[in-house]
């Protein structure tokens, strides 16, 4: 009889121990339904380190839960943006309040003077002037066809005819013909 009572107590003790493991261990928690699990987790106690990486999906988030102010700087690429959802630039017809019609429009044209000795300035230098067509705008320019023995002394817009460029060269006493090339904005 004592033997059966010992066996019975041992069996019950093992049963209670198994029940205790089940009730306090992860097996019982994992076996519960999502609703039961949600009830067992205290509100606002799940933190980032509690969630396995890659497990939160878009469907798990409430609408508007993550806003654009919560996106990391430079994290978005073109593939992340649906361009059809973008609005028109507020003032696409102007830039800084200035209408597009006020900006320069036209074609850049190149003009070149004749290859010639230029006007002797009496100090060992010679100059040539070339102008854009009336109404066009001088953009840039400089000497061309210079001999290797000649040097450009200066190149600047003139005070004379508007939109003109004057180039002065030093020929160092050697006969040298040169030309002046300019780029003009040919306005319509």
Using a 10 angstrom Cβ sphere, with 0-12 exposed, 13-18 middle and 19 or more buried, the burial of residue 177 is middle
Whole-number average pLDDT of the chain: 78
C-alpha span between 36 and 68 (Å, rounded): 34
Q: How many domains does the chain have?
A: 2
The 10s digit of each residue's pLDDT in 70-97 is 677 888 888 888 888 877 766 667 777 7
Question: CB 128: neighbour CB atoms within 10 A?
Answer: 21
Domain membership of residue 86 (yes or no) is no
Short-list 113, 130, 133, CA closest to 179: 113
Domain membership of residue 83 (yes or no) is no
Contact 154/127 with Cβ under 8 angstroms?
no
Domain membership of residue 97 (yes or no) is no
Q: Do 64 and 111 sit in the same domain of this protein?
A: no
Residue 141 lies in domain: 107-186
Task: Find the angle CA(84)-CA(89)-CA(93) to the nearest 5 degrees.
Answer: 125
Query: Among 17, 40, 68, which residue terminates a domain?
Result: 68
Compute and round to an integer the Cα radius of gyration of the chain.
43
Percent of the chain with pLDDT over 70: 71
The 10s digit of each residue's pLDDT in 131-180 is 999 889 999 999 999 999 999 999 999 877 678 999 999 999 898 999 99
Domain membership of residue 29 (yes or no) is yes
pTM over 0.75: no
Q: Could you give the 3-state DSSP secondary structure of residue 44? A: coil
Q: Which of 2-11, 59-68, 106-115 has the lowest mean pLDDT?
A: 2-11
Q: Do 64 and 113 sit in the same domain of this protein?
A: no
pLDDT (mean) for 7-13? 59
Domain membership of residue 88 (yes or no) is no
Domain membership of residue 42 (yes or no) is yes
Domain membership of residue 82 (yes or no) is no
Binned at pLDDT 50, 70 and 90, residue 10 comes out as low
Question: Does 29 score more than 90 pLDDT?
Answer: no
Domain membership of residue 181 (yes or no) is yes
């Amino acid at each position: 009889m004592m033997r059966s009572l010992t066996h019975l107590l041992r069996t019950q003790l093992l049963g209670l121990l198994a029940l205790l493991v089940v009730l306090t261990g992860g097996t019982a928690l994992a076996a519960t339904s999502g609703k039961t699990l949600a009830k067992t987790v205290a509100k606002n106690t799940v933190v980032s380190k509690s969630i396995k990486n890659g497990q939160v999906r878009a469907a798990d988030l409430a609408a508007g839960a993550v806003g654009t102010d919560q996106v990391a700087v430079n994290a978005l690429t073109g593939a992340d943006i649906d361009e059809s959802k973008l609005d028109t630039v507020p003032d696409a017809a102007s830039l800084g309040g200035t209408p597009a019609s006020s900006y320069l429009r036209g074609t850049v044209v190149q003009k070149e003077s004749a290859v010639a000795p230029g006007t002797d300035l009496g100090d060992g230098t010679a100059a040539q002037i070339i102008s854009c067509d009336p109404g066009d705008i001088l953009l840039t320019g400089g000497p061309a066809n210079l001999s290797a023995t000649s040097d450009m002394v200066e190149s600047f817009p003139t005070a004379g005819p508007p939109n003109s460029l004057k180039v002065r060269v030093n020929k160092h006493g050697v006969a040298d013909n040169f030309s002046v090339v300019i780029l003009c904005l040919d306005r319509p």
